[in-house]
Structure 1
Amino acid sequence: MTSTWSNPRHRPSGTGSPSALLILATAALLVSACSGSKGNPTTPAPSPSVGQSTSLPRAGAPNVEKPLDTAAAEADPCSVVKSDQVQAFGGGPMDRSRVEHLSSGKVCTWVFANGLGTVSAGMNTGERDGLSHLYALNAQGSGLTTFKPSEPIDGYPSVVFANGGERSYACNLAVGVRNDLMYTIVATPGTGNPNRSDPCGMAAKLGRYAVQHLRAAQ
C-alpha cells in the first residue's frame, strides 16, 4: 500500500492552510483502506448504538469499559471542544474553526492566527473496529510506520500512529471512545507556536477536553 503520509501536499504550514485536515483525511483512509474495506467515499457510515460489539476489542487492544455516546459529536464536531478552550492550550489566538465533511465523518479544524498552525479532530465513523484496527495493523507489521500506545485520555486508551512521513512538529492521535469507534486528532502547531516541540501533548489536551465534554453529556 502506498503511503498516504508522504505526499508533499499534506505537509503542514504555518499559514493556516488545510494541510492538517488533509492529513486527517488520509489518516482516516489509512485505517479503512489498509483493511481492504470499501466504504462509500462521500457518505459517512451511520452511528452505531453505544453498546459494544461482542467481537471487540481484538489484536491486543485495550477494552473501553465505559463507552461514550458520540451522536452529538458526529453531528457537530466543533461543539465538542470550545474555541476558547482550544485557544487556551493551542499557543495563540484563534482565527476560525470550520466543519469539513470527509468519508470518515465530519471533522472540525481549528485554525490559529498568525501562522501558528492548526488542530483537527473528528469521530472516525468510517472504521468500525476502533483502536483494534490499529492494533491489528501493528501486529501484522503492515500499514503503520509509527504505533505508540500512549497515556489514557481521562481513562480512555489512546495511540499515536502514522504511515510514513513522520515529522517532529505533527502528531496523529487516536482515542478509543468505544471499542468500535475512535476519535482521531491531528495537531500541526506552526513555527512560533510553543507547542511546536510537543504536538502530541497538544493533541492529548484536545482529546481530554473532548472526552470530558462527552462524559458530561451522558
Structure 2
Amino acid sequence: MRRSRPLAIVRAMLALAGAIACAACSSGSPAVVSVQKKVQGLLGQPNVTSFLDVRFGDSLYRVQNRFPNGSLETAPYGADTYRLENIEVDGVRYQRVKYEFTSYSGMQLVMAWFTPDSSEQVLEKLIAAIGAPTEQDSAKGSAPADTRAMWRLPHGERVVFDGPKRFVAVLGPGGGPLRQDEAENEALDSP
C-alpha cells in the first residue's frame, strides 16, 4: 500500500512538469507535442470521471439536485435509475440520458441516446477525451452515424458508442453489477 503513494506523487510531479513545459512553449511546437506524448505515456491512458457534470460515484441525491426535472425509475435488475429527457449540453442534444446507481458505489453507469445531428460531435468528444477506440466497427472514412466503437480503459471503465442506434454508454469502474442493464439498453432502438 505504501508503494503506490510514491508512484502517485511521481505521476503528479510528472503531470505538473509537463504542464509547465507546455505553458513555456507555443502550443503548436513539436516540443510541446513530444512532451505531451511522453507525459501521457508515463501516466497511462486517460479515464472517464464524469458525464454531463455527474461524476462516477456520485449519489442519486446529488444527481437529483443537479438535474431536478428528471424522474426516478428502477432498472430491470433492480438498480436505481435517474432519467433525463431532451437536454442539450455543449451543442450536443440528448433525447434521453439514464444514470444507474449501485448500492455501494453510487453512479456507475450512464446511457445516453443522442439526436442524429449530434453523432459527429459525440464521437469527436469521446476521441478527444479518451483517445482512439480499442475496437471499431466501420469502414475507414465512414460517417460517425455509421460507426460503432468501444473503449476499454485502464481503470475498468468501458465506453460504447453506437452511431446507428445513436447511443453512448459509459460503465464506471465499480459498475460490474450493471453490465446486464447496459447490454440490454444497448440492444434497444433509439427513443
TM-score by length of 1: 0.39
Q: Which has the higher helix share?
A: 2
Higher relative contact order (CA 8 A, sep 6+): 1
Q: Radius of gyration: which is bigger?
A: 2
